[in-house]
Chains A and B, each alone.
Chain A
């Protein structure tokens, strides 16, 4: 374990870890949106900014991407850091004025109102949905597309996400809950990706438990027997 300091407090981090995870473990609160421990750090939202002093030089950088290093001193609430975070949450709020989480975070950081023309977007472009889909689920159904101010998270060709297995991981990962999952009868829909899949019924309890498409994919990938998913997870145990 590698020792360093955060806000004067001695902490320890594993080799290969990042400053944000160590801070959170130590009970030090650093606001963040695009960080999730199940996927690689990305550094898109820029909210987790901290000032890091290393070899006498200070640098403002995102704590989620800054590697654990011996002897560094991290400061999470300097004037510079607070000023930057405040402006960033204001910019995100201007982009997505309707998102409750953003409204709450903005209020907490002292943002009174938005000084820019309000957009009507809901997605904060943190990328968690796409990253989870790629790194954890392996379905690669959605990805960022376009560039600059036209960047968005969409399925290919902005249509239905044909590789989506409707597992719902992205729905859970989304910090502002704008993806949405709906189940009606024997169908499950991931709303934002316009993906509706028919669900398979358990032979034992008769509940719809998972989409056919998803189960077929798993069987293929893991080379399972044809009737492997005839019984749902609950009934199997």
Chain B
């Protein structure tokens, strides 16, 4: 990520410790993950030890150090979805995409993650792909759904 872009983000929130999470989240939104050099730059620019930045980046679920695919698939494993068979949907996705949870397909098309509750419990089991919610899923609906996302 361009240094000037990172500078803008830091300027927006102010170069204070309490803004670190928001700054990292914005970089993540832009780059789809947190590149190592971006974190090193933030550490240097804000005067926060890299070990502390790394600690934050690995603590919060929203932040990822691994490059992500073009499409992010979040399978909901909230209690209501779990009780309605959410695990089976996740397993089917793992089988169809050939990757495990937290991994990205070799062609960088999909990243598969699990989330705990998106708040659409009436529609369980639910998966969110690129921010769009797909409810009332069943194992046999998965292939058609994934096909929609190039």
Contact = CB atoms under 8 A, between A and B. Distances in A.
A, B co-complexed: yes
Contacts of A141: 51
A150 to B, nearest CB: 9
B117 interface: no
Nearest to A159: B36
A147 B51 contact: no
B50 interface: yes
Contacts of A162: 50
B56 to A, nearest CB: 9
A157 B57 CA distance: 10
A163 B58 contact: no
Contacts of A140: 49-52
6 contacts: A140-B49, A140-B50, A141-B51, A145-B54, A145-B55, A156-B53
A156 B50 contact: yes
A163 B49 CA distance: 9
A156 B54 contact: yes
Query: In which size bucket is the chain A interface?
Result: 10 to 19
Interface string B38-54: 01000000000111111
Contact of A143 (B36, B51, B65): B51
A163 B53 CA distance: 13
Interface centre among B39, B49, B51, B52 (most CB of A within 10 A): B51
B46 to A, nearest CB: 13
A169 B65 CA distance: 30
A22 B58 CA distance: 37
A147 B55 CA distance: 9
B58 A155 contact: no
A155 B53 CA distance: 11
A143 B52 contact: yes
Contacts of B65: 157
A142 B58 contact: no
Nearest to B60: A147
Given A145-B55, A157-B36, A163-B50, 20 more contacts: A130-B51, A140-B49, A140-B51, A141-B51, A142-B51, A143-B51, A143-B54, A144-B55, A145-B54, A145-B58, A146-B58, A146-B59, A147-B58, A147-B59, A156-B39, A156-B50, A156-B51, A156-B53, A157-B54, A157-B65
Nearest to B51: A143
Nearest to B65: A157
Interface in A129-168: 130, 134, 140-147, 155-157, 162-163
Nearest to B40: A156
A143 B58 CA distance: 11
Contacts of A157: 36, 54, 65
Interface in B9-32: none
Contact of A155 (B36, B51, B52): B51
B59 A163 contact: no
Contacts of B54: 143, 145, 156-157
Nearest to B43: A156
B17 to A, nearest CB: 13
Contacts of B51: 130, 140-143, 155-156, 163
